[in-house]
Amino acid sequence: MGQMSTLVFAPGFFHSGAVGVAVAVGGAVAVVSACVGVFTVIRGQSFAGHALSDVATTGGSGAFVLGVSPLTGYVVLGLAAAAAMDLVGIQRARGRDVATGIVLGAGLGLSALFLYFDTTMRATTGATMTILFGSMFAISSSTIPLIAVLAAVALGVTALVYRPLMLSSLDQEIARAAGVPVRLVGVLYLLGLAIAVALSAVTIGAILSTALLVGPAATALRISRRPATALALASLIGVGSVWLGIVLAYDSFYWPPRGHGWPVSFFVVTLVFVFYLFTEARVLHRLARSRAALARLAARFAVHRQARIQAGG
Partner 1 sequence: MFSGFMMNTWIVASIVALVAGVVGFFTVLRGSAFVAHAVPQGAFAGAAAASLLGMNTLLGLGVFALAAGLGIGVLGRSGRHDVVTALALVVMLGLGALFLSRSVEYAPEIYSLLFGEVLGVSRSQVAPTSVLALVCIAGVLLVYRPLMTVSVVPEIAEARGLSVYRMEMLFLVLVALATSMTVPVVGALLMFSLMIGPAAAARSLTDRPLVAMTLSVVLALLTVWLAIAASYLSNWPVGFFVGALGALSYGMARGWLFLRKPLTRSGAITPGGALGT
Cα–Cα distance for residue pair 81/68, rounded to 1 Å: 19
- Contact between 34 and partner 1 per CB under 8 A: no
| Complex with partner 1: residue 45 or 169, whichever CB lies closer | 45
Asked if residue 236 lies in contact with residue 221, where contact means CB atoms within 8 angstroms, the answer is no
Residues 6+ apart with CB under 8 A from 116: none
Q: Is 258 in the site for partner 1 (CB under 8 A)?
A: no
Exposed e or buried b per residue across 176-185, where buried means at least 16 C-beta atoms within 10 angstroms of its C-beta: eeeebebeeb
Query: Of the two residues 16 and 130, which places its CB atom closer to partner 1 in the complex?
Result: 130
Q: Is the CB of residue 29 less than 8 Å from the CB of residue 198?
A: no
3-class SS of residue 31: helix
Q: Which of 284, 293, 298, 303 binds partner 1 (CB under 8 A)?
A: 284
Q: Rule CB under 8 A: say whether 30 interacts with partner 1.
A: no
State which residue, 69 or 119, has the beta carbon closest to partner 1. 119
293 vs 154: CA distance, rounded Å: 44
Q: Is the C-alpha dihedral spanning 264, 211, 22, 143 positive or negative?
A: positive
CB-based contact 5:179 (threshold 8 Å): no
Q: Which is nearer to partner 1, 110 or 188 (CB)?
A: 110
Q: Which stretch binds partner 1 (CB under 8 A): 69-77, 177-185, 257-265, 305-313?
A: 257-265
Interface pattern 154-193 for partner 1 (x via CB under 8 A): ----------------------------------------
| Residue selected from 24, 76, 83, 106 as contacting partner 1 according to rule CB under 8 A | 106
Which amino acid, residue 277? Answer: L
Binding site for partner 1 (CB under 8 A): 41, 44-47, 49-51, 94-98, 100-113, 115-116, 119, 125-129, 132-133, 207-208, 210-211, 213-215, 218, 222, 260-263, 265-266, 268-270, 272-273, 276, 280, 283-284, 287
